[in-house]
Amino acid sequence: MARLVTIISLIILLSALAVSEAKKFIVGGKESKTFWRVPAGGENQNNLNYWAEKNRFRSGDVLVWKSVAKSDSVLEVSKKDYESCNTTDPIKELKACDGKFTLDRSGPFYFISGIERHCKKGQKLEVVVLADHHGRRALSPAPAPEKSDGSKVGALGTVSLATGVGLVTALFLLV
């Protein structure tokens, strides 16, 4: 029974560590024909935003643009510049070919084509990054509950001790 508990503890720990890794997202999806280009159906047919809405982005994830035309670029811009397709004051510019962008915070990110007329035809992307507490970065234990007198219960030490004992036991069994 103790061995089973140890194995389960190890599996949970390894799962938590594996989940904490950043992911790479190819903009539009790996199999997509919706790379960085003007949408065929105009702005109402922006498949890139549809793709982004179906994904869960977290801080640390990386967006990878494939097949950006040599004459184009990807601009990270403010929401106001995204809506108006203003290419004159980007936050960051990714040049032609393949570009990579690390999502370094939670909240919205706005990307537009470096060619204003392409942006106005719908070549733009909005990505929303989940807050850390919604996903895989939320690995720290919950705050300790309060006793009826308002003082904290020492649950944090128990969680740390249980995790530590599980790791030591798992390592002992592996040796």
Does 145 or 127 have the greater pLDDT score? 127
CB within 8 A of 67, min separation 6: which ones?
35, 36, 37, 97, 98
Does 91 or 30 have the greater pLDDT score? 91
Residue 90's Cβ-side half-sphere holds a number of Cα atoms within 13 Å equal to 18
Q: 102 falls in which pLDDT band (50, 70, 90)?
A: very high
Task: Report the first-to-last Cα separation within the chain, whole angstroms.
Answer: 19
Homologous superfamily of domain range 19-134: Cupredoxins -  blue copper proteins (2.60.40.420)
Q: Is residue 97 predicted with pLDDT exceeding 50?
A: yes
pLDDT tens string 141-175: 444 555 455 544 443 333 444 444 444 444 444 44
For residues 71-83, give the mean pLDDT. 93
What is the structure's pLDDT at 77? 97
Does 125 or 18 have the greater pLDDT score? 125
What is the DSSP-derived secondary structure letter of residue 134?
G
What is the structure's pLDDT at 34? 53
- Statement: the pTM of the whole predicted model exceeds 0.85: no
Nearest CA among 121, 111, 127, 34 for reference residue 75: 111
Q: Is residue 61 predicted with pLDDT exceeding 70?
A: yes
pLDDT tens string 1-29: 777 656 666 565 555 444 557 899 988 88
CA 13/CA 7 separation, integer angstroms: 10
What is the structure's pLDDT at 47? 74
Helices (H), the chain: 2-19, 47-53, 79-84, 116-120, 155-174
For residues 72-96, give the mean pLDDT. 92
What is the average pLDDT value for the chain, to the nearest integer?
73
